Amino acid sequence: MIELRNIHKAFGKKEILRGMNLSVPKGESMVIIGGSGSGKSVTLKCILGLIAQDKGEIFIEGKNAQDATDRDAFLARFGMLFQGGALFDSMSVWQNVAFRLLRGTEKKTPLEAREIAIEKLRRVGLSPDVADQYPAELSGGMQKRVGLARAIAADPEIIFFDEPTTGLDPIMAGVINTLIREIVVEMGATSIAITHDMTSVRAISDKVAMLYDGEIKWTGAVGDMDTADDPYLQQFITGAPDGPITTA
């Protein structure tokens, strides 16, 4: 269970999150939707401790994330797929995937780590030949898949997806959505994805949360999304230029 209570975050005078509350039960796939700059990425970064919230508390399985004394153990529970992949240019694909496995307390031998990396690459539909290539040699879709393989390499309990289909063609986006759904279900992981791609929302989520003006305006099951009477959600789904969401 991931629980965010009254999270506030401002950058200078600009308030991004203004008392955000959200609960994601264990094993559930939550998608946070919202416009650009609405604070979706900031939310994920606050949970991971990449940036500190100004106010509010984040609980992971009932424990306050700020009280985590062993940062490595805390972060080992998470996997994250970054928007642009965030693969390390100087390392080969398998070294990227096995990055966590080659370091830390549960370090594996390079041979074992490579085997796991190849297995994870296979899981995301990439052949073992890709293992020795460098990220710059791969297409955007392949880089996303490598990023996904890296996110799941250490079998995390919680997986975050930051705009998983941005920059991909519709077919590749569909492939990534299917992979995400399959992997999350298969691993029984709790996941939070952030996106503005409604196809992605329908494909990967159990529940949806609509973030606007620093607060969750609506949350509910993905099946209830279209019939919900929340004006913010409806404007976002339909992409109507007029409504409570301003674009200025």
Taking the least distance from each CB to another protein, the nearer of 80 and 183 is 80
14 binds another protein (CB under 8 A): no
Q: How is residue 196 annotated by DSSP?
A: S
Nearer to another protein, 120 or 207 (CB): 120
Kindly indicate which of the ranges 74-82, 179-187, 197-205, 238-246 contains the residues binding another protein, using the contact rule CB under 8 A.
Answer: 74-82
Tokens of 91: 């390392």
- Based on the shown chain and the rule CB under 8 A, indicate whether residue 99 belongs to the binding site for another protein: yes
Q: Does 84 bind another protein (CB under 8 A)?
A: yes
User: Is the Cβ–Cβ distance between 187 and 26 less than 8 Å?
Assistant: no
Sheet holding 14-24, edge to edge: 14-24, 2-11, 55-60, 63-64
Contact pick of 82, 94, 161, 218 for another protein (by CB under 8 A): 82
The binder of another protein chosen from 52, 67, 71, 246 (CB under 8 A): 71
Kindly tell me which of 23 and 83 has the beta carbon lying closer to another protein.
83
Which residues neighbour 73 within 8 Å (Cβ) at sequence distance 6 or greater? none
Q: Which is nearer to another protein, 34 or 147 (CB)?
A: 147
Rounded CA-CA distance 95/188 in Å is 26
Residues 10, 68, 75, 237: which binds another protein (CB under 8 A)?
75
**Which CB, 144 or 150, lies closer to another protein?**
150
- CB nearer another protein, residue 70 or residue 229: 70
Identify the residue whose tokens are 């503005």: 196
Stretch that binds another protein, among 43-51, 125-133, 182-190, 193-201 (CB under 8 A): 43-51
User: By rule CB under 8 A, what count of residues binds another protein?
Assistant: 23
Cα end-to-end distance, the chain, whole Å: 36
Query: Rounded to the nearest whole angstrom, what is the least distance from the CB of residue 44 to another protein in the complex?
Result: 10
Task: Tell whether residue 120 is a contact of another protein (CB under 8 A).
Answer: no
Question: If residue 113 lies in a helix (H) or strand (E), which one and from where to where?
Answer: helix 110-123
Asked whether position 48 contacts another protein by CB under 8 A, the answer is yes
Radius of gyration for the chain, computed over Cα atoms and rounded to the nearest angstrom: 18
**Residue 35 sits in the site that holds another protein (CB under 8 A):** no
Q: Which of 32/98 has CB closer to another protein?
A: 98
The Cα 153–Cα 96 span in angstroms is: 10
Strand 158-162 relative to strand 190-195, pairing: parallel
Cα–Cα distance, 40 to 115 (Å, whole number): 35
Token digits of residue 79: 């996997």
Who's near 63: CB < 8 A, 6+ residues apart? none
Q: Is 145 in the site for another protein (CB under 8 A)?
A: no
d(CA 93, CA 118): 9
Which chain residues interact with another protein by CB under 8 A? 45, 48-50, 71-72, 75-76, 78-80, 82-84, 86-89, 99-100, 103-104, 150
